[in-house]
Amino acid sequence: MKKIYIYDTTLRDGAQTQEISFSVEDKLRIAQKLAEFGVDYVEGGWPGSNPRDVEFFQKAREIAWNKTKLTAFGSTRRKGVRPETDPNLGALIDAGTPAVTLFGKSWDFHVVHLLKVSLDENLDMIRESIDYLKKNVGEVIYDAEHFFDGYKENREYALKTVQAAVEGGADQLVLCDTNGGSLPHEVAEIVKKMFAQLKVPLGIHCHNDGDVAVANSLVAVQQGVTSVQGTFNGYGERCGNANLTSVIPDLQLKMGYLCVPSENLSQLREVSRFVEELANLPPRIHRPYVGDAAFAHKGGVHVSAVRENPKAYEHIAPEAVGNKRNILVSDLAGTANVLEKAERFGVQLEKKDSRVKKILEELKKLEHQGYQFEGAEASFELLMKKALGKYKKLFRLIDFCVIDEKRKEEEAPHSKATITIEVDGQKEHATAEGNGPVNALDNALRKALEKFFPALKEVELLDYKVRVLSGHQGTGSTVRVLIESGDRHDRWGTVGVSENIIEASWQALMDSVEYKLLKERSEKRL
C-alpha cells in the first residue's frame, strides 16, 4: 500500500473554530492521542503568535512522540527584516520541533493589497525564510497559502512563489485552498500540472467553504500528492477544514492507501469523540464514519435487509472505524426493527410471535402522541419488557409536590420538591431542593429511593432537553423531554411527553431510575 502522510492541524487551524478554546493541557492531551492513533504530523500551534503556544511547545519537549513529528507553524519573515533577526522565525526555531511549517503568499492580490510589498520582495521573503530555517531545523514544510486562487488569477506568479520555496530548500510543498472555494475538477487539474513541474513532494490543504474539502483532498491524492492536511471532525475557521475522520477511511478503506497503521483504524471513532469532548462540543451524530447515525437504520425495509446482509445498506463494516450498527425504533419501524432490538436486549422472539405485533402497535401509538425513542432506548427497552411480561415494578409513586417560588425580583427562584414512594409496602417520604423544579424533583426521588437501592447514588443526570411539539397552543403546548443519564459504566436515554413539563420530566426521570435498577438486578444475576 502506498503511504499517504497525514498532517493534523486540529490544534492550530481547528482551534480557530468559533466555539473552541483549547487550554494548554487540552492541546497536550489531544496531541498525544493523535500520536497514539498514528498521525504522521501534529501541528501544535504558532509559537510566534501567543504565550499559550509557547507554553505548549515547552511542555511538549518532555513527551516522547515516537514516530509522530510535532510541528510548529509560522509565517515568512517580515518585509524589510533579515531572517536571522525576525522574531517569528526565531520562535519557530526555539520551539524545538523536528519539523516546522512556514506559510507564504501565492496570490498576487494578497501580496500587493495585504502584505503591501512588491511581488519580487515576496519571493525573497519565501526563499530567504526557508533557507534560514533549513539551517536550523531538520524538516521545513512550505504551505503555499491561497495557491489555487492565486493560480487561477495569475498562474505565472503563483508558480514563481512555489519555485522560490524549492530554491530555499523546502522539503515539501503544500498547495492550499485557503478560501475553500475551489471545486474538485479545478483542484485535480491544477495539482496535476504542479506535479509535472515541481520535483519535491506535494501536499494538499483544503478548507470546506464549498463543502468539498474532503473531495478536493481525495482528488489531489489521485493526482500525486503524498500528504494531506486536515483536522479531526473538520474543525476550523469559517466552515472548517478537510475532515480527517472522513479523509483517512476514504483513503485507506476505499482507495487502497496507508494513512495510519491498519490495526489503529478501529480507534477512529474513539479519537473523534475524544477531540469532541476536549473541544467541549456536542457530537454531530450525522458525521460520516464516526457519528451515531452513520450506521443507523430506521425504515423497516432497511432493517430487514441489513439483518439479512449488512452490505445492503452499509458501505463498510461499522467496526472497521470503531463504530457500531444502530437499529432505531419509530413509527416507521417494522418487525425487523423489533426483532433486532429484542436480540440486543437478550430477548428471544420469533417473527410470528404475537407479542411483536403488540410492541409495534404500542410503539406507533406512543409516537403518535409525541414520544420519540431514537434517543431514548432505555425507555424503549422498558416498553418492550412490559409488553413481554418481563417487567417488575420496584417502587410506586404515591404523590409528589413541586414548589418554585420567587421571593424577590432580584433573587433567583427557590425550588423545592416533596415526594412519597412505596417500596415493598413501606412508605418513604423525602424533601429536597434544587436549582430548578426538575432538579429538585430528581433530588427528592433519589433521596427517597437510595435507602432501598444504594446503586442510585452513582447515577448522574448528564443531559436534559425539552422540545415543544406543537406551538399553536403557546405555553400550553405538548412538550417532549429527553434525559440522558449515566453511571460509571454506561449511559442511557429516556423520554417523557405531556402538556405539563414537570409531568413529562417525571416520566423521563422514572424511566431513568427504573432502567438503572433493572440493569443492576440483571448484572447481579450474571
Residue-level pLDDT at 250? 98
Point out which residues pair with 71 in neighbouring strands. 43, 99
**Confidence (pLDDT) at 411:** 86
pTM for this predicted structure = 0.72
How many C-alpha atoms does 465 have within 13 Å on its Cβ side?
13
Nearest of 433, 434, 488, 437 to residue 458 by alpha carbon? 488
Contact 57, 87 (CB under 8 A): no
The tens digit of pLDDT for each residue in 63-120 reads 999 999 999 999 999 999 999 999 999 999 999 999 999 999 999 999 999 999 999 9
pLDDT per position as a tens digit, 192-210? 999 999 999 999 999 999 9
User: pLDDT, tens digit, for every residue of 415-449?
Assistant: 999 999 999 999 999 999 999 999 999 999 999 99
Q: Residue 177 has which C-alpha cell?
A: 485552498
Say how far apart CA 465 and CA 246 lie, in whole Å: 29
- What are the tens digits of pLDDT across the range 253-286? 999 999 999 999 999 999 998 999 889 887 898 9
Q: Please give the helix or strand (H or E) that residue 428 lies within, else none.
A: strand 426-434
DSSP annotation string for 280-320: T----TT-TTTSTTTTEE-SHHHHHHHHH-GGGT-SS-GGG
In the chain the domains, ranked by start, together with CATH numbers, are 2-279 (3.20.20.70), 296-387 (no CATH), 396-525 (3.30.160.270)
Which of the residues in the chain have pLDDT under 50?
331-332, 526
- The closest alpha carbon to 488, from 520, 440, 524, belongs to 520
Beta bridge mates, 461 = 485
Q: How far apart are CA 508 and CA 504, in angstroms?
A: 7
Q: What's the pLDDT score for residue 452?
A: 95
Is residue 44 a contact partner of residue 57, using CB atoms and an 8 Å limit? yes
